[in-house]
Structure 1
Amino acid sequence: MSAVANDGGAPGRTIPPAPPTSDSRTFARGVQDLIEGLRTSELWLHLGWTDIKQRYKRSVLGPLWITIATGVTAVAMGILYGELFHQDIKTFLPYVLLGFIFWGFIETTVLDGSVVFSTNEGLIKQLPAPISVHVYRVVWRSLIIFAHNIVIYAIVFAIFRPPIDWSALLVIPAVGLFVLNAIWVTVVFGILSTRFRDIGQLLTTAVRLVFFMTPIIWSAKTLSDVGDSGSSKLKYVELNPMFHYLEIARGPLLGDHVEFYHWGIVLGCTAVGWIAALLVMRNFRARVAYWV
C-alpha cells in the first residue's frame, strides 16, 4: 500500500512502499533448509541408491566390488606392514582392516562432498528442493559403501576372534558422530568448492597426505613402545584429529579401552564443524544455484 504525504511543495505526493526485507541470509533459513531436506528422505534415499547402481551398472558382482576391493587392499597391507613392523597378524590385520573401512567413509565423504553441487547442476537448477538434499544424498551413499565394507570385519572377526565385550556397542555413537561430521563436511566443502573449484583439488591432495599421517597401515602403539622419543612422537600423532576419530570407532571393535579425551576431541571438532556449516549455509546457500 502506498502512502500519501505533503511536503509543502508537492501536496498529495505518493511515496512508494519500502521494498520487502529478504531473510535468505539468516541462520533460520539455513536451519530450515537442513530440516526440509531431511524430511524429503524418499528423494535422497532414492538418489543415493541410484548412484550406487549406476556406478556398477552392467557389472556381474555389482556393489560387491566395493567389498572385494577394500578387503583385498586391507589384507594385503595388513600382511605387508605386519611383517615390516613385526606385528602379530592376529591383532594387526583387524586393526588395519577397520582403519581402511572407517577411513573409506571419511575419504568418500570429503571427496564426493566437495563436488556434490558442481556435479549435480541439472538437478539443482531444475528440481525445486533444498540444497541439503544433495548433502544427505552423499552421506547416505557413503553409508551404503560403509555397510558393504563392514561385512569384511564380520569375516575377520569369525577368524581371529578379537577380545571384544559389551563396550563394542560404543561403535554405534561413534558412527553417529561420523554421520554428523559427514554432513557438515559436505556442506562446508561442497559449497566452498562450488565457488572456488581449486578447493576440490587441494582436498584430494590433502586426503592422500593425511592418510599416511594417520595410524591406519601403522599402529600408534609402536611409537609408545620405543621409549621417551616414541612418546614425544605420539604427541605429534595426537595433533591429527583423524587419529581420534579412528580411535573412537576402531577401538571398541578391537576390544581396546578408548580414553575419554578421544571422545572429547571428536565432540569438539563436531561442534566447531557445525558452527562453520551454519555460517556457510547462512551466507552462501542461496548462491549455489548461480555458482554451479
Structure 2
Amino acid sequence: MSASALESEAAASASPPASDSQTFRRAFQDLRDGFAQRELWLHLGWQDIKQRYRRSVIGPFWITIATGVQAAAMGLLYSALLDIPIDEFLPYVTVGLIVWNLISASILEGSDVFVANEGLIKQLPSALSVHVYRLVWRQLLFFAHNLLIYVVMVFAFGVWRHLTWPDLSAIPALGLIVLNALWVSIVFGIFSTRYRDISPILGSLTLLLFVLTPIMWTTESLKSQGGQAADRVKLAELNPLYHYLEIIRAPMIGKPQEAYHWYIVLAITVVGWAFALFALRKYRARVPYWV
C-alpha cells in the first residue's frame, strides 16, 4: 500500500476534534470574562440610569420619590384596614417594597436582558454575562437610591432603637439576593430569547406573587386571628419569594428571623445556579442567533 493511501486511510479513521463550545468550562469562562469586563458593565449600567432621567432636574431621585409615595400610600391604607400601628407597619411595608422592586426587576428585566441588548450582542465582542452583570448592577443602583427612604424611616419611626449587631445579617442577605438575581437573569434571559412567550407569562406571574407575598399584609396578623386564618400562613411559606424577603427585611427593621428562611434561600440558590450553568453550557452560543 502506498504512503498516500495510508495517509488517506488514517485521515478517514481519525475522529474529528471535540468542540468545547458546550462545556461547563466555557460556561464558567463566560462568567469570569464577563466579570473581568466590569469597567464596561459598570459604565453601561450607570449610563442606563442617566439616559432614563435625561433632562430631569432631580434625575434618578425620582425613583426614590415614586417608591416613597407608593410605600406611604400602601402603609397608611393597610395600616387602617388591618388595624396595625402605623409606626410598626409603615417600616414593614417600606422595606418590603424596596426589596420587592429589586427582586421583581431581576425577574422581569432579566427575561428581556438579551433581547434588549440585541445590537450589542451582535456587534460587540464580549461575554454574554456582561449584559447580566449590567442589569443587576443597574438594579443595585436603584436599590441604593431607595435606601434613602429607609434611612429617613429609621430615624423618623425610631427603628434604630431596635437594631442590633446581628441585624448586620442584612448585608450577606443582600449579597445572596444579588447571586439569585444573576442566575434568574441568565436562565430566564436565555429561554425567553428562544421562546418569547415566557416574558409576558413572567409579568403576569410576578403580579400574582406580589399579592401573595407578605408586603401589604403580615403573617403575624393571620396568626393572631387563629383558626383557618392561622393555617394560611403555611400557604404563604410555599411562596419562595417570601423567604427571600424575610432574610433581609427582618434585620433591616430590627425584627427576629427564623433560620429556616436562610436554609430555603440557600437551597434555591444552589439549584438555580445549577440550572444557570446548564443553560450557559447548552445554549450560550445560540443566543446571538436567537435575538
- Which of the five TM-score ranges fits, normalised by the shorter chain? over 0.9
Query: For residue 221 of structure 2, what is the amino acid of its counterpart?
Result: T
Query: Which of 34, 39, 43 is residue 42 of structure 1 equivalent to?
Result: 39
How far residue 254 of structure 1 moved from its aligned partner, in angstroms, is 1.4
**In 2, distance between residues paired with 1:61 and 1:151?**
14
2:192 matched to which residue of 1?
A: 193
Which sits farther off after the overlay, 78-87 or 16-25? 16-25
Within 5 Å, which residues of 2 pair with 1:100-249? 100-162=97-159, 163-249=162-248
**In 2, distance between residues paired with 1:181 and 1:121?**
24
1:74 aligns with 2:71: yes
Query: For residue 36 of structure 1, what is the amino acid of its counterpart?
Result: D
How far residue 193 of structure 1 moved from its aligned partner, in angstroms, is 0.4
How far residue 20 of structure 1 moved from its aligned partner, in angstroms, is 2.5
**In 1, distance between residues paired with 2:4 and 2:129?**
45
Q: For 1:142-165, what per-residue CA distance to the aligned partner results, in whole angstroms no more than 9, with x for missing partners?
A: 000000001101001111012111
**In 2, distance between residues paired with 1:282 and 1:12?**
35
Query: For residue 79 of structure 2, what is the amino acid of its counterpart?
Result: G
Per the alignment, do residues 12 and 272 of structure 1 end up closer, same or farther by CA in structure 2, a change over 3 Å counting? closer
2:275 matched to which residue of 1?
A: 276
2:82 matched to which residue of 1?
A: 85
How far residue 4 of structure 1 moved from its aligned partner, in angstroms, is 4.5
**In 2, distance between residues paired with 1:172 and 1:12?**
64
**In 2, distance between residues paired with 1:286 and 1:55?**
31
**In 1, distance between residues paired with 2:4 and 2:271?**
51
Query: For residue 145 of structure 2, what is the amino acid of its counterpart?
Result: H
**In 1, distance between residues paired with 2:226 and 2:163?**
28
* Structure 2 unaligned residues grouped into runs of 5+: none
How far residue 19 of structure 1 moved from its aligned partner, in angstroms, is 3.1
How far residue 211 of structure 1 moved from its aligned partner, in angstroms, is 0.2
Output the TM-score relative to the length of structure 1. Answer: 0.95
Query: For residue 48 of structure 1, what is the amino acid of its counterpart?
Result: G
**In 2, distance between residues paired with 1:25 and 1:167?**
44
**In 2, distance between residues paired with 1:145 and 1:233?**
33
Which sits farther off after the overlay, 247-256 or 12-21? 12-21
1:20 aligns with 2:34: no
Q: For 1:95-138, what per-residue CA distance to the aligned partner results, in whole angstroms no more than 9, with x for missing partners?
A: 00001000000011111111111111110011110000000000
**In 2, distance between residues paired with 1:188 and 1:4?**
51
**In 2, distance between residues paired with 1:216 and 1:159?**
20
Q: RMSD in angstroms over aligned alpha carbons?
A: 1.4
Output the TM-score relative to the length of structure 2. Answer: 0.95
**In 2, distance between residues paired with 1:19 and 1:37?**
30
**In 2, distance between residues paired with 1:221 and 1:14?**
75
Per the alignment, do residues 19 and 92 of structure 1 end up closer, same or farther by CA in structure 2, a change over 3 Å counting? same
Query: For residue 51 of structure 1, what is the amino acid of its counterpart?
Result: D
How far residue 168 of structure 1 moved from its aligned partner, in angstroms, is 1.7
**In 1, distance between residues paired with 2:148 and 2:189?**
29
| Counterpart contact for 1:4–1:14, Cα < 8 Å | no
Query: For residue 148 of structure 1, what is the amino acid of its counterpart?
Result: H
How far residue 18 of structure 1 moved from its aligned partner, in angstroms, is 4.2
Q: For 1:249-283, what per-residue CA distance to the aligned partner results, in whole angstroms no more than 9, with x for missing partners?
A: 00001111111001000101111100110110111
Which sits farther off after the overlay, 12-21 or 56-65? 12-21
**In 1, distance between residues paired with 2:156 and 2:106?**
30
Q: For 1:164-185, what per-residue CA distance to the aligned partner results, in whole angstroms no more than 9, with x for missing partners?
A: 1112201001000010000000
User: Structure 1 vs Structure 2: percent identity of aligned residues?
Assistant: 54
**In 2, distance between residues paired with 1:113 and 1:288?**
14
How far residue 13 of structure 1 moved from its aligned partner, in angstroms, is 6.1
